Chains A and B, each alone.
Chain A
Amino acid sequence: MARIIEFHSVSKRYRGGFDALSDVSFVMEQGEMVFLTGRSGAGKSTLLKLVACLERPSKGQIIINGKNLGALRTRNVARFRQQLGIIFQNFKLLYDRTVYDNVALPLIIRGLPASQIGRRVRAALDTVGLLDKERQYPVTLSGGEQQRVGIARAIVTKPPLLLADEPTGNLDPALSQEIMQLFERFNRVGVSLLIASHDLHLIRHMDHRMVTLDHGRVIDAGA
């Protein structure tokens, strides 16, 4: 099976000398759902940022979906990111726009004709169960609903790879469970997911590979 993420001896040293990642190598196959765990500060967020090309590695090689990020020019980064769906802990919604407009944003960014946007936005909202809230503003929604808007925004472009950074960090256990079930549903139709989470209690019950980071090193690459 083809690989969607490859890290070869990747290190990331931030300005000031802090080593966020040291000599990290790991591989994720297409269609896999992988949890990235470890204490806060272990390097989970840095690893996700490197995948999304939000940061560049100090050393090593990263290949995403067959694309060597080292050879990716700055002006092509935006187009590379369009292949990903990213989900954030604090949702990162645009609060001056409606739910519909938030979910439509990635499609507008990609330049889809208006005729296609409405159908795809509603399909994505339907998937996360928020079809009836499309005209509302994010502030009027609960935390769980806001995260589902964030997820709808990430999947509306049907990306092959979804990245999620502590997606349940701000949610209670019941809602967290719901979100994880949603992710498993995506995985079942073939989407690859890399989910950073320190909520071991939640993810231990799920039958997926866990990659554990500690002080910037992979201490357990999972089964």
Chain B
Amino acid sequence: MAADEDAPKPVGAAPGRRRRRAPERGGLSTYAERHAQALVYALGRLSKRPLTTALIMAVIGIALSLPAGLHVLIRNVSAASYSWESAVKASLFLKDSVSASEGQALAERIAQHPGVAAARYISRRQALQEFRKLSGFGSALDLLDNNPLPAVISVRPDPGLSAARAQALVHNLAALPGVARAKMDQAWLRRLRAILAIAHRTAWILAVLLALAVVIVVGSTIRLDIENQREAIEIMKMLGATDRFIRRPFLYAGAWYGLFGSVLGWIIVAASLWALSAPVARLASLYQGGFELAGLSWRGILGLVAAGVVLGWLGSWWAVGRHLREIQPS
């Protein structure tokens, strides 16, 4: 009978023995083929349970979109704050020996200085009046015999100037004769920077916590998957499947979850930015700025997706390591 040619052969003819020593039989192409098989097989299994897959995807997507979105927000505010930096004002406090007319002339001279957009002389009396009006300490000032406030030239650097150039400019102006001291009005900017630093740190904490959540979500999903496949795993072990062989599709399933979840996360961030772009443009127009919201950079998108894949892989690695060993055929 022709079929008997392919029936089992006795020991001597068994081809298995010589080749059995290599841990992975076949060449590199077979090895790649096996991984490709597991990759596609894992994807096929996910597609058979679309609802579960969609839910996991949504959880991962939302979890990853939060830190990613916060990161984008911080980057935008930082960028905006740099563009505001050069728009700050500097105050040049004049020596008391400088008369009002000399101060006025100095202000006019400074206004011609390259890099200066405007310079305004504020006499000691004007300074006192402004202080009375704004501070509410007017009556306290009445107790003093003479005006303690110096005359000031308020300088606005060119808006196009970088922060360093503006700083250098103010430093030069401070050296002018008649100027006692120069001070850049940067306090609010420093506060903003401090707040941004806190926000940045918060984003990192959030990222770490949510990454952990992704690992746990993928891990418990894979654990359920392993539980549902318990019988098939037992059968495969009886047929001589190595742990590596059994592990592979689960690891790939985790990676697929991470990949799809992170792509969804990117879509959530992009959609949120799109929704915010109109009100942000309105706000920017109030500051006469041509500011535009920046989305995730290509590197950012790549990082997000890579993070998703790695976290999904880690999650399933964790589940597989814990639960696959428990399943032994009997």
Q: Dominant SS at the B interface?
A: helix
CB within 8 Å for A158 and B15 given contacts A54-B329, A111-B25: yes
Would you call A186 and B7 a contact (CB within 8 A)?
A: yes
Tell yes or no: A196 within 8 A of B by CB: no
- Note all chain A residues with C-beta closer than 8 A to B4: 127, 185, 188-189
**Which chain A residues (157-205) contact chain B, with CB distance < 8 Å?**
157-160, 162, 185-186, 188-192
Establish whether residues A82 and B240, one from each chain, have CB atoms under 8 Å apart when the complex forms.
yes
Taking a contact as CB atoms closer than 8 A, the residue among A106, A120, A124, A162 that contacts B240 in the complex is A106
A72 at the interface (CB under 8 A from B): no
Chain B hits for A155, CB < 8 A = 7-8
Which residue of the partner chain A has the closest CB to B14?
A160
Asked if A25 lies at the interface with its beta carbon under 8 angstroms from chain B, I say no
Inter-chain contacts of B241 with A (CB < 8 A): 78, 109
Query: A127 near B3 (CB under 8 angstroms)?
Result: yes
In the assembled complex, which residues on chain B have CB atoms less than 8 Å from the CB atom of A81?
237-240
Query: Is A16 in the interface zone, CB < 8 Å from B?
Result: no
For A4, the chain B residues whose CB sits under 8 A away are 11
Identify B26's interface contact among A78, A85, A111, CB under 8 A: A111
Say yes or no: B9 contacts A120, CB within 8 Å: no
Q: Inside 8 A of A192's CB, which chain B residues have their CB?
A: 10-11
A116 to chain B, nearest CB (A): 10
> By the criterion CB–CB under 8 Å, are B239 and A83 in contact?
no
Is B51's CB within 8 Å of the partner chain A?
Answer: no
Q: Could you tell me if B239 and A153 are in contact, using CB atoms closer than 8 angstroms?
A: yes
Contacts of B24 in A (CB 8 A): 111
User: Is B172's CB within 8 Å of the partner chain A?
Assistant: no
Contact of A159 among B14, B37, B237, B245 (CB under 8 A): B14
Minimum C-beta distance from A96 to chain B (A): 8
B59 within 8 A of A: no
CB-defined contacts of A109 to chain B, threshold 8 Å = 236, 239-242, 245
Q: On chain A, which size bracket covers the interface?
A: 35 or more
Candidates B6, B9, B245; contact of A190 at CB < 8 Å: B9
B29 within 8 A of A: yes
Q: How far is the CA of A105 from the CA of B41 in the complex (A)?
A: 13
Q: Which of B6, B329, B330 has the most CB of A within 10 A?
A: B6
**A158 near B9: Cβ-Cβ < 8 Å:** yes
A221 within 8 A of B: no
Q: Kindly name the residue among A52, A111, A160, A189 whose own CB sees the greatest number of chain B CB atoms within 10 A.
A: A111
Q: Contact: B7 with A127, CB < 8 Å?
A: yes
B246 to chain A, nearest CB (A): 9
Asked whether, in the complex, the Cβ of B8 is within 8 Å of the Cβ of A105, the reply is no
Instruction: Find out whether the CB atom of B238 lies under 8 angstroms from the CB atom of A30.
Output: no
Kindly list chain A residues whose C-beta atoms are within 8 Å of the C-beta of B299. none
A123: interface (CB < 8 Å): yes
Interface hub of B4, B11, B16, B236 (most chain A Cβ within 10 A): B11
C-alpha gap A112/B7 in the complex (Å): 18
Q: Could you list 14 A-B pairs, sorted by A, with CB under 8 Å? A: A30-B10, A54-B328, A78-B241, A83-B16, A83-B240, A108-B34, A109-B240, A111-B30, A112-B25, A113-B29, A123-B3, A126-B6, A127-B6, A160-B11
A interface residues, Cβ below 8 angstroms from B: 2, 4, 30-31, 49, 52, 54-55, 65, 75, 78-86, 92-94, 96, 105-106, 108-114, 120, 123-124, 126-127, 153, 155, 157-160, 162, 185-186, 188-192
Interface residues of B (CB under 8 A from A): 3-16, 20, 24-26, 29-31, 33-34, 37, 231-232, 235-243, 245, 328-330
Considering the complex of A and B, which 8 residue pairs feature the smallest CB-CB distances, nearest first? A190-B10, A123-B6, A82-B240, A81-B240, A160-B11, A191-B8, A78-B242, A127-B3
- A sample of 5 more A-B contacts (CB under 8 A), given A120-B6, A188-B4, is A79-B240, A81-B239, A96-B232, A109-B239, A158-B13
